Amino acid sequence: MAKGSAGSVAAAADPITQFFASLDEPGHLATFEGDSAEVEFDVLGVKKAERWHVSITNGDVAVSNRGGPADATVRIDRQHLEALVTGRLNAQAAFLRGLFTCEGSVSALMMFQRCLPGPPGSTGRVAPISSKTVMAQRGMR
């Protein structure tokens, strides 16, 4: 898979293009170390066929727009793909809802979803709650 074939369009503002470029440009993602898979995204409902092929080899990542043999092929609308790669839609939930189909290995898809971002606005912290507030919430003193 030729390196940089997807990165060349990274300048475009399109979030999908940006996302795949962010996988391709570093060329290696620690979260995929020890794992290998070929995952392809066929984008539905667009005039010109749009395809993203992600090759993962023990953490090394390459992205291209050419098709090829894949362990898992995902067919998905552009709007839902955009929601997935920006963290506005959870992959597992979307799969259960039937928002995309996955042909081939579910394991490969499970592995791929590790690189998807969390929801915008998630910070990982919340303000502490006092004992007094907890007691009040439970209708005690």
Partner 1 sequence: MSGELVQILEGNTFVVSDDRGDIESSLSDPTGLFSFDTRFLSRWVLTVNGQRLTALSTDDLQYFQTRFFLVPGGGSVYVDSRLTVIREREVADGFREELRVLNHDNQPADLQIRIDAASDFADLFEVKDALKKKGHYRARMADRQLVLEYQRETYVRETWISSSSPSDVDDGGLSFSITVPPHGEWKTTLDVVVSGGHAEGADRPTRIRGQRRVRRNMERGLEKWLRQAPRLECDWEPLEHIYQRCLTDLAALRFSTLSLPNRSLPAAGLPWFMTIFGRDSIFTSLQALPFTPELAATTLLALAERQGTRIDDFRDEDPGRILHEMRYGELTAFEERPHSPYYGNADATPLYVVLLDEYERWTGDSKLVRDLEHAARAALNWIDEYADLQDNGYVSYQRRNSETGLENQCWKDSWDSISYRNGDLPGFPRATCELQGYAYDAKMRGARLARMVWRDPAFADRLEKEAADLKRRFNRDFWVEDGEYFAIALDGDGRQVDSLTSNNGHLLWSGIVDKSKARAVARHLLGPRLFSGWGVRTMAEGEARYNPIGYHVGTVWPFDNSFIAWGLRRYGFKDEAACVVAGIMEAAEVFKGRLPEAFGGYPRKTTRYPVRYPTACSPQAWSTGAPLLLLRAGLGLEPQGDNLVVDPALPKRLGNLEVLDLPGRWKRMDAFGRGRVDTDRVTLR
Residues near partner 1 (CB under 8 A) are 30-31, 33-34, 87, 90, 92-93, 96-99, 105-107, 110-111, 114-119, 121-126, 128-135, 138, 140
- Beta carbons within 8 Å of 140's beta carbon, 6+ residues apart: none
Nearer to partner 1, 48 or 122 (CB): 122
What minimum distance in Å lies between the beta carbon of 16 and partner 1? Answer: 18
Nearer to partner 1, 32 or 64 (CB): 32
Distance, CA of 40 to CA of 76 (rounded, Å): 11
What minimum distance in Å lies between the beta carbon of 4 and partner 1? Answer: 25
Nearer to partner 1, 3 or 103 (CB): 103
Residue 100's DSSP bridge partners are 76
Residue 72's DSSP bridge partners are 39, 104
The pairing of beta strand 36-44 with beta strand 72-77? parallel
